[in-house]
Chains A and B, each alone.
Chain A
Amino acid sequence: MRRSSARRRRTGLTAWGFALPFTALFAVFMLLPVVSSLYMAFTDMRGADLRTTWAVNFVGFDNFVEVLADPKFQQAAGNTIYFVGVAMPLTLGIALLLAVLLNSGLVWFRSVFRVGFYAPVVTSIVAVAVVWRFLLQPDFGLVNSALGVVGIDGPRWLTDEAWAMPSLIVMATWRNVGYLMVILLAGLQGIPRDVYEASAIDGAGPVRQFRSITVPLLRPTLLFCAVITGIGYLQFFEEPFVMTQGGPLGATNSVAYEIFNQFGFGNYGLSAAMSYVLFVAIVILSYLQFRLLRTEK
């Protein structure tokens, strides 16, 4: 008995040897910030308190009240809902369409298409946002030049209040479709072919098959895609930072961008409170998606 407990203690020590480098860094750079952001959200900490983080006043829910009553934050929240509400179904829908088409067996160079649609996923958002700013440039950009050929006078995409957000949505969709497509394609390949064959014998057409076989069997994959995309899109930041600076007139300001700006102004407490609001939004959205898409038992 004693031998085995000594042995267990020894393996316990060695095991901690394996776990220690990660655990130490994880405690300092992840757990500590998570806990202290909660602390900060309830204080009036500002940039000047950077070195004296304990000498700040506890203000209860004041930050949260201020954030939720702030018209700029409300506008940013509305913009974020607009962005997620349009870009997420759009990205998922196009990705699903592409995955189904690529899986149909009618496509000639499947791997070429797969690589081509995936390529934007590996790019830096900052870099492609710069490129898209150039593409959407109203006077000599490629998009308006192409529209000009067919006689359409293209808008000033990024400086027009109505068009700025759709421009960012299209760019985000362009960049993320390939990622979901690859995951959905893997999910589709997991559906046995004989299920389709059997349903074809029963007289089901492609649309019926899509609704009665593909979508139900793909539910777990769709759920994963929706959650991942929702989390990513709720934090959209680089696109407005590079392309519009949140303008025109705040039309593309996002919650994440507002958090960054308040941090820049030195309002750390306020900024931390905003990030908690965003975090709660992420949790709620993920929960709703689970409710909506989970497999029925």
Chain B
Amino acid sequence: MTSPATDRATDAPRVRRFTPRAVLLNVALLIGLAASIGPLVWMVLSSVKPEGEIRQFPPTLIPDQVTWANYTELFATLSFPRYFLNSVVVALFVTVGSVLFSAMVGYALAKLDFPGKRMLFALVMGTLMVPGMVTFVPLFVLVANLDLINTYAALILPFLAAPFGVFLMRQFMLDVPDELLDAARVDGAGEFRTFFRIVLPQARPALATLGILTFLGSWNNFLWPLVAVQSADRYTLPVALALYSTGQNTVQYGLLVAGATVIVLPILIVFLVLQRHIVQGISTTGLK
């Protein structure tokens, strides 16, 4: 019964105050907010303007004339359905695979004993900070020799071994109580059964956080898909948009912002729905 009172006590300084200082501060932050989301709002609004209106001076904020022509061209003429599908397939496989594998090895590293465990953990930690920029050339040579260029496998497999995911999962699994595992084992459950029935459900928050981060990373990934894929039917959305925007064709801004919207808007909507999860996940993983 004391909790509502203490809640109010800690929240007290956050009660809306209309002092001049507070008004000034909030107005300043509102301007900052406009700068932060303005470009994204502008992107969405411009994507439904005809090219003529886009090139008009001074620019219009709200479209005078709403047209779907940019989207029609993207989806009917420019194979964007294909690129969208490629992005979705790759992101889903990468997310499910890497989260599952990370959870499995994270569990083994945290709760089980096996020869080579310390060595494996050291290697994972050692590669945690190795950036994609350092490995993409030899990775390309490897993938070419495995005859995987232009395949989904090339886009997916390298991302199933994510040191960051392993690190995160191990940290989380360390906190799973041993008593819980022992109880399952006493009841005669095998290690795999224990893992799937007891450990994974316990780890749901960590799995969700890692899953969201992995999906985002894959959806927005650019360098590796650009390198690993040369035929258009395997392009992911960012590769298609980047190559189209830097190609020889005359720049059609309406088409470009519509393409950008196709990449950004679904993620933005998911973000708004899951924002509590994402922001909390970021703050906790960031601090570990």
Contact = CB atoms under 8 A, between A and B. Distances in A.
Given A33-B142, A275-B137, A117 B191 contact: no
A174 B238 CA distance: 19
B105 A19 contact: yes
Contacts of B29: 98, 101-102, 107, 113
Given A126-B241, A140-B59, A108 B139 contact: no
Contact of B287 (A137, A140, A224): A224
A166 B144 CA distance: 38
Given A30-B161, A135-B42, A127 B238 contact: yes
B137 A11 contact: no
B212 to A, nearest CB: 9
A108 B26 contact: yes
Given A11-B114, A123-B267, A186-B283, A134 B130 contact: no
A209 interface: no
A185 B138 contact: no
B259 interface: yes
A124 B32 contact: no
B287 A31 contact: no
Given A23-B105, A106-B26, A50 B144 contact: yes
B40 A268 contact: no
Interface stretch (B63-71, B203-211, B215-223): B215-223
Given A134-B256, A263-B227, A124 B219 contact: yes
Contacts of B46: 134
Interface of B: 10, 13-14, 16-17, 19, 21-22, 25-26, 29, 32-33, 35-37, 39-40, 42-43, 46, 54-59, 101-102, 104-105, 107-109, 112-115, 117, 120, 123-124, 127, 129-142, 144-145, 157-158, 160-161, 163, 166, 190-192, 195, 216, 219-220, 222-223, 227, 237-238, 241-242, 245-246, 253, 256-257, 259-261, 263-264, 267-268, 271-272, 275, 278-279, 282-284, 286-287
Given A22-B104, A34-B127, A275-B134, 19 more contacts: A22-B166, A23-B120, A25-B101, A25-B157, A29-B157, A37-B134, A51-B144, A106-B22, A116-B37, A118-B271, A119-B37, A124-B263, A127-B238, A128-B39, A130-B241, A131-B257, A135-B39, A178-B36, A278-B134
17 contacts: A12-B115, A15-B112, A18-B195, A29-B157, A36-B141, A110-B14, A123-B220, A124-B267, A127-B263, A142-B59, A174-B35, A186-B284, A190-B287, A241-B246, A263-B227, A272-B138, A275-B136
